Chain A
Amino acid sequence: MSGNNKAMLVVKGLHARVGDVEILKGIDLEIGAGETHAIMGPNGAGKSTLANVLCGRPGYEITAGEVSLNGKDLLALAPHERAGEGLFLGFQYPVEIPGVSNMNFLRTALNSLKKYRGEEEMDAASFLKMLRAAAADLKMAPEMLKRAVNQDFSGGEKKRNEMLQMAVLDPIMAVLDETDSGLDIDALKIVADGINAFRGPEKAVLLITHYQRLLDYVVPDQVHVMIDGRIVRSGDKELAKELEEKGYAEVA
């Protein structure tokens, strides 16, 4: 399914359920280094479940299948260890954390990742410099760094904050769950710029989205259509346009 690039994320025959309800019914997906893939599909297709299962959110039972990142078995790892291996989840609904400043949160997170990787922690001054630059790239006001994580942020600010985290934590594989939802056109462009800036030969991106709109700005290498827990069709960026015109029922 992937092009000629080295496979980074490999998902094979993944089945998952919540309680008695099977939601993922055999997902196969391979994303190579340098690639951006998009998964589109109607509500209830299992797109967010896939994102959550990849990142190890509790509450899902994996009944079959494998997931690896650069050859490492992700399913055997706890969520923080998956982050340590370079996986990042952009949340559909970023969580508010009162009492924890954005800045401290990011520094603690970055140093946790560095500790996991056996790297040296970043000193406060270098961190602050890097954080300010990343925030400026996303056109975030410096005072947003001092505020509690996502608390009283607008929908657009929360999504921008997810992009800031992605920029600072610098993962290798980003799974972005409806990062475009709830954004006006200006915010959408800023978020898209953030994703494009992240892309690179050693990075991979999985975009999960309802709409083709984001894909005008972040052009994917592959598009997958997911319906009822399965990927039913894959193609290039033209598939997204076809979906937008004809709807899921006809394309699938």
Chain B
Amino acid sequence: MNEKNQILDAYDTAFHAAAAGLPGSGTDWATSLRHDAMAGFRASGFPTRRDEAWRYTNLTPLQKRPYLAATSANEITGIERADLPRRDMDGARIVMVNGRFDETLSDLGPLDGSLTFMSLARALDEKPELVEPYLVGETGEDGIRRLNTALMADGSVIILPAGARPELPLEILYLNSAGENAAAHIRNLVVLEAGASLDLIETCRDTSGNGSAFWSNIVSTMVVGEGASLNHHQIQTIGSEALLSAAANVRVAEGGHYSNFVLTAGGLVTRNEIHILLQGRDAQATLDGLCLARAGQSLANVTIVEHQSPAASSKQRYKSILQARASAAFLGKVVVARDAQHSEAHQASDSLLLGEGATANAKPELLIHADDVKCSHGATVGALDKAALFYLNSRGLDPAAAKEVLVTAFAEEILECISLAPWRQIIRAEIAGWMRDGEKVSSQ
């Protein structure tokens, strides 16, 4: 038996051992959904670099050993309130530890009265009819999502009724404290009914500080109703050995707007995938991302935006800053359907290489079936401008300060689009911290 099969068998065995205890096990549709997904995973295995969409994702860690969901709901995680990252914004916070909702660490007091929150585990056990329409038929398009469907242990179900517009943002914080090669399969469901609006923050952090090889596998389904507006902000600063695969399936109805900003600044491998269906007229998507990659890291943003109705618009801007021997990729596909006339789709990706052996890949892909559309894409990969560096030096900035000014300016352009002001400050601080750490690493 080869290594690949041994690994798949390990997942299969773990699944069958755990299945009866997984949430929703008392419900037929949930049980068969999980079993179908596991059978699908067993047949497909993990994606490989031969799959075009996965070509630039480092899958080696997943192919070398199984990452098993070792934690159970009542396990003591060892994380206390004092360990939580400082809050820089008001609003409610949902805390997931090792992939499970932790009510005592969460801060649900400020939760807006109009908003329904329930953990996925509870929803599957107590109100399966609430989540059924969003889960059935969603076994996943690849091995990683299939595994998520089979093993999903918890997540957040967030529902906003028509017209509800909470003022404060809602944060979901993911923390990991489990041992080596553990995994969390998280499934979220965010539904905004017509005219609703929400600032949703997702923060992935490593609190252990020991950089354990933990795999977070997060799949989210997001539904943006007519005229609704979901501002989705993500910050990903996981440990140096950790893996993160985050996938969001987003549907946007007429006049709705989904916006996403993701800062990725950690992990051995981080892959963000967003698949958006602009289903209604005038539906909009605004996607921005900044990757800060260090040596040995492999970070990727993958987007698929499907314009399915007339006058829908999408705008994407991704940037990456890479230290020596780091790798970052942007794969962006835009599909404009035949009757999605007057669509507007713009896409740009820029990468800044700061050291030897850094690799940036950009793969824009436009499939346009309508004839009256405005679409554009552009990609740049380059090093710091030597003329600009000398200009700054000649004005008195030492080489490190000149570099910091130029790198910050490169990042700053993408921060301008962040509407949530405190969030912009948080991102700025993350970038400054990353640059300082980078200097330490490179000067050692």
Total residue contacts A-B, CB cutoff 8 A: 75
Q: How many B residues face the partner with a CB closer than 8 A?
A: 23
Which A76-117 residues sit within 8 Å CB-CB of chain B? 78-80, 82-84, 88-89, 91, 94-100, 105, 108-110, 112-113, 116
Decide yes or no whether A55 CB sits under 8 A from chain B.
Answer: yes
Decide yes or no whether A6 CB sits under 8 A from chain B.
Answer: no
Inter-chain CA distance A99–B395, complex, in Å, is 17
Decide yes or no whether B412 CB sits under 8 A from chain A.
Answer: yes
Decide yes or no whether B396 CB sits under 8 A from chain A.
Answer: yes
Inter-chain CA distance A58–B394, complex, in Å, is 11
- How far does the Cβ of B404 sit from chain A's closest Cβ, in whole Å? 9
Contact yes or no, B397 A112, CB < 8 A: yes
- How far does the Cβ of B397 sit from chain A's closest Cβ, in whole Å? 5
> Which residue in B393, B405, B410 is a CB contact (below 8 Å) of A83?
B393
- How far does the Cβ of B392 sit from chain A's closest Cβ, in whole Å? 8
Inter-chain CA distance A235–B410, complex, in Å, is 48
Q: How many A residues face the partner with a CB closer than 8 A?
A: 29
Secondary structure call for the B interface: helix
- Contact partners of A109 in chain B: CB under 8 A: 392, 395-397
- Contact partners of A94 in chain B: CB under 8 A: 391
- How far does the Cβ of A167 sit from chain B's closest Cβ, in whole Å? 13
CB closest residue in chain A, given B386: A58
- How far does the Cβ of B351 sit from chain A's closest Cβ, in whole Å? 15
CB closest residue in chain A, given B407: A99
Inter-chain CA distance A109–B394, complex, in Å, is 9
Contact yes or no, A100 B409, CB < 8 A: yes
Decide yes or no whether B390 CB sits under 8 A from chain A.
Answer: yes
Contact yes or no, A91 B393, CB < 8 A: no
Contact yes or no, B406 A58, CB < 8 A: no
Contact yes or no, B412 A108, CB < 8 A: no
> Which residue in B387, B396, B399, B405 is a CB contact (below 8 Å) of A95?
B387
- Contact partners of B392 in chain A: CB under 8 A: 97, 105, 109
- How far does the Cβ of B280 sit from chain A's closest Cβ, in whole Å? 35
Inter-chain CA distance A132–B95, complex, in Å, is 49
CB closest residue in chain B, given A168: B395
- A55, A80, A82 — most chain B CB neighbours (10 Å): A80
- Contact partners of B402 in chain A: CB under 8 A: 80
Interface residues of B (CB under 8 A from A): 385-388, 390-399, 401-402, 405-406, 408-410, 412-413
> Top 8 nearest A-B pairs by Cβ distance?
A99-B409, A79-B393, A109-B395, A83-B396, A112-B396, A113-B396, A95-B391, A100-B409
Interface residues of A (CB under 8 A from B): 55-58, 78-80, 82-84, 88-89, 91, 94-100, 105, 108-110, 112-113, 116, 165, 169
Not counting A79-B390, A100-B405, a sample of 15 additional A-B residue pairs whose C-beta atoms are within 8 angstroms of each other reads A55-B394, A56-B394, A58-B390, A78-B398, A78-B399, A95-B388, A97-B391, A99-B408, A100-B409, A105-B392, A105-B405, A109-B396, A112-B396, A112-B401, A116-B396
